[in-house]
Structure 1
Amino acid sequence: MLPPAVRALARNVPTVAPVPNKGLIAVTGSQAAEFLNGVVSTHVSPSNPHHSFSAFLHAQGRVLHDIFLYSQPSATGKPGYIIEYDNRTVEDVPSILPMLQRYVLRAKVKLRDVSSEYDVWAAWGSEKEKLWETERHWKSVRSGVFEPVWDAEGPSPWGSEPGVLRDRRAVGLGERLLVNKGDRPRAASTHDIGSESDYILHRILRGVPEGVTDIIPGHSFPMESNMDLMGGLDFRKGCYVGQELTVRTYHTGMVRKRIFPVMLHQHPRRESDTELQIHDVILSPHLDIRTHLQPATDGTPRPRPRGTGKLLTSEKGVGLALLRMEHVDAVMKGDAQLEIESSDGEHKTNYGVTPWRPSWWPVTEPESELY
């Protein structure tokens, strides 16, 4: 369930829309699955090929690329995969193809850029999604990490139909489609045609970060980026790049930040406003979000809250933001407000930032300390 202020933004009819900024790499050969299993953050089974959501991490456990893996056998039936990734260049972050080529060594695999052969589309809102979109079950640990629990005996939750991936990162995301370059997907005959912005708004409303703006390469920790909630981490598979720190956080660490969907609105709010009114605005990414504590009932001053948040992607007055969970809990209890300052070079404008917790997330106990 979405907050009342943003419900009108959701597209509630079957929609298909192009997904922007995507590159594609084909990985083929008799050892394609074994090769990928050694470098991505989820299990890739040689005996049961299927699609999945995953990530490449660097040795210190931070995310380099969030990716989708499409099981895509070659024309001769040999094992193969297509990696979908954000193809925007980031300074000091290795391009994905040269990075993978360094890992090949003697593995019997071939790597090829196929970005010129396919487009990526997203489709959502159809009745057929209800056939596979099952109720979420979770496994949790004291560190605050959550894992979706899928039916081990059933088919892959992400599907295996060539070119059609069930996007299980969040409830209601729909499907991801690989389509021949320049073509429209078959679903275009039964769905409304949306824009790239419609897709971005669709995933924001479900609290799903994606790509280099939201999951900053070389800086973002996987759990803080909700990779665990979205099913992009396997804490029990064998060794892979970045595994050590990820598993250590799972067992002995503590997740204190997460990416939340947020509303951007007037700050401070007028007392006459009975409901929050969002501003139809798109702000520059990575602006600081400050936390302001409400005065104590007895007038006692409170110390300044620890740290700031970061605005990530925004669209039509909603966005995604990396926030300390204790700050979010304080806002939801009415003990704090969040604020962001935007400048066009001449004028500065302050906006209020109000997060909400996606309804598909597991229930957690609130943090007790704010400062």
Structure 2
Amino acid sequence: MPTARLTDRTVLRIGGPDAKDFLQGLLTNDVTGALPVYAGLLTAQGKHIVDMIVHEGGGELLLDVAASHADALAKRLGMYKLRRDVTIDASDASVFARWADPADDFGDRPFDPRLAALGERWLGFEARTTATPDQYDAHRRALGVPNTAEMADLLWLETNADELNGVSFTKGCYVGQENTARMHHRDKLRRRLMPVKLSGPASDEPIMAGSVAAGDLRSRAGDLGIAYLRMEHAETPLTQGGAPVALLWPGWLDRQAG
């Protein structure tokens, strides 16, 4: 089974007697129950600032977060801390992932809380690696699961956070909760991140449905991309720069959710 050290991820340690209550009032998911869980820190308007996987270890909460966002997250958490008995530090631990065909036997590591098909995901200091971060990224992209960079400035539910187990609607208040709950009670989302297959050359042009702009491409690797699309055009032929774009509806996303 391929195993990779995800060098684009880093780990923050949240310690102290108030650590769980502190994060419980900020993050979109319940960190007082079984861990790991997937969660986001949002603006007051419910927009993505940073997403993370919350683990527990050594009496602390450990945040698996994009390395590019770790310093900003630590600074923002420090702003929220006030007089709480909480410590925020960097960890030397690394993030590891192991994945394979679902028929293969896995070990006793926890599965990625977003989607079991992503494979096992854990924090540690040493592991025998047989794959690269780019290979893991290709695996993630093939499953249609977005990453932090692709979510920038989007409303939390538009990142498919609900379907990827990234929000609790029963835990109570958190930053951005009001708008997120309001969106949840709508019948459908108007826009969301979706995987696409591209046939043209790399381009910054919008994705079109006929003569109407249907969305924009958030990232691309080879012919696979993650696009931010208006779901009213999900069943419409799409193009970018005149070349066809195929919407790859992921198996974990109910078509009625569009």
Does residue 1:53 correspond to 2:43, yes or no?
A: no
State the one-letter code of the partner of 1:236.
T
Picking from 65, 83, 92, the partner of 2:50 is 65
Please show how residues 142-153 of structure 1 align to structure 2 within 5 Å: none
| Alignment partner, residue 200 of structure 1 | 137
The 8 Å contact of residues 169 and 231 in structure 1, kept in 2 or not, is answered as yes
The 4+ residue runs of structure 1 with deviation greater than 3 A are none
Question: Aligned residue pairs: how many?
Answer: 256
| Alignment partner, residue 364 of structure 1 | 256
What is the aligned-residue identity percentage? 27
Does residue 1:174 correspond to 2:111, yes or no?
A: no
The 8 Å contact of residues 171 and 360 in structure 1, kept in 2 or not, is answered as no
| Alignment partner, residue 148 of structure 2 | 211
Question: For residues 351 and 122 of structure 1, do their structure 2 counterparts lie closer, same or farther at Cα, with a shift above 3 Å needed?
Answer: farther
Separation of aligned partners in 2, 1:65 and 1:53: 11
Separation of aligned partners in 2, 1:227 and 1:365: 12
Q: Any unmatched runs of 5+ in structure 1? A: 1-13, 74-78, 132-160, 267-280, 293-303, 331-335, 342-349, 367-371
| Alignment partner, residue 33 of structure 1 | 20
| Alignment partner, residue 82 of structure 2 | 105
State the one-letter code of the partner of 1:119.
S
Query: How far did residue 314 of structure 1 move?
Result: 1.6
Query: How far did residue 358 of structure 1 move?
Result: 1.2
Query: How far did residue 287 of structure 1 move?
Result: 4.8
Separation of aligned partners in 1, 2:120 and 2:163: 18
TM-score normalised by structure 2 residue count: 0.90
Give 1 or 2 for the bigger CA radius of gyration: 1
Question: For residues 353 and 252 of structure 1, do their structure 2 counterparts lie closer, same or farther at Cα, with a shift above 3 Å needed?
Answer: closer
The 8 Å contact of residues 264 and 318 in structure 1, kept in 2 or not, is answered as yes
Separation of aligned partners in 1, 2:230 and 2:34: 38
The 8 Å contact of residues 239 and 245 in structure 2, kept in 1 or not, is answered as yes
Secondary structure of residue in 1 paired with 2:68: coil
| Alignment partner, residue 83 of structure 1 | 63
Separation of aligned partners in 2, 1:365 and 1:80: 36
Higher helix share: 2
TM-align CA RMSD: 2.4
Please show how residues 120-159 of structure 1 align to structure 2 within 5 Å: 120-125=95-100, 127-129=104-106
Separation of aligned partners in 2, 1:363 and 1:171: 20
Secondary structure of residue in 2 paired with 1:232: coil
Query: How far did residue 254 of structure 1 move?
Result: 4.0
Separation of aligned partners in 1, 2:205 and 2:6: 24
Q: Any unmatched runs of 5+ in structure 2? A: none
Query: How far did residue 165 of structure 1 move?
Result: 3.6
Query: How far did residue 253 of structure 1 move?
Result: 6.8
